[in-house]
Amino acid sequence: MKAICIFLGSSFGNHAAYRDAAAAMGRELAIRGMTCVYGGSCTGLMNQLADSALSAGGKVIGVTVQALKDKEEFHTGLTELHVLPTMHERKNLMVQLSDGFIALPGGIGTFEEFFEVYSLAQMGFHSKPCGLLNVNDFYAPLENMLCAVEREGFLKRPYQESIVCSEKPDELLDLLTKKVTDL
């Protein structure tokens, strides 16, 4: 795997563990020579991820839309920053640039982005692995919900089991890499 798309909060959240995890993920991507693809912001966990990857010598690609670029601050030290006209084009480019996807803690935008790539995989539009960095048990309720959705007959087990999850960035990247080699 050469590039991983990371979805995460533009805020820091309420626990220092979220900052630490974003920084650890950025460093781990750089150490492995993997390019980090993300939304391009210089706020919250997004900034922590980018700064950490760049400080460790990694490549970081930001992908945003013009409407956000016009009203928000974006990281000025990125390897590349792509500015597209629509969210659809933005997410499409993120999928094209990435070999896998990881969600760190975040809000509605993080969930929406993660579930879009997860559902695209379910429908066969790509076969790239999806993972959750379960910092501070942030994604435990989601894991329970997916089990309930499967149990109630709305999600087939292979799709429910296709998301890999770990609380450690290095372990999660190992699991994603294994998913790629198992395909």
138-169 in b/e form (b: 16+ CB < 10 A) is bbeebeeebeeebeeeebeeeebebbbbbbbb
DSSP letter (8 states) at residue 125: S
Q: For residues 25 and 35, give the distance between their C-alpha atoms in angstroms, rounded to a whole number.
A: 11
* 150 within some domain: no
Q: For residues 155 and 175, give the distance between their C-alpha atoms in angstroms, rounded to a whole number.
A: 22
| pLDDT value of position 180 | 80
Residue position matching structure tokens 């292979």 = 158
Q: For the segment 19-48, what is each residue's pLDDT rounded down to a tens digit?
A: 999 999 999 999 999 999 999 999 999 999
| pLDDT value of position 179 | 84
Confidence band for 70, pLDDT divided at 50, 70 and 90: confident
* 51 within some domain: yes
Number of structural domains (the chain) is 1
Mean pLDDT across 65-81? 89
Residue 52 has pLDDT above 80, yes or no: yes
Residue 182 has pLDDT above 80, yes or no: no
Does this model's pTM top 0.85? yes
Do 63 and 37 touch, CB atoms closer than 8 A? yes
* 156 within some domain: no
Q: For the segment 91-138, what is each residue's pLDDT rounded down to a tens digit?
A: 999 999 999 999 999 999 999 999 999 999 989 899 999 999 999 999
**At 49, which CATH number?**
3.40.50.450
The domain of 80 spans 3-137+164-178
Interacting residues of 141 by C-beta distance below 8 A, sequence separation 6+: none
| pLDDT value of position 183 | 59
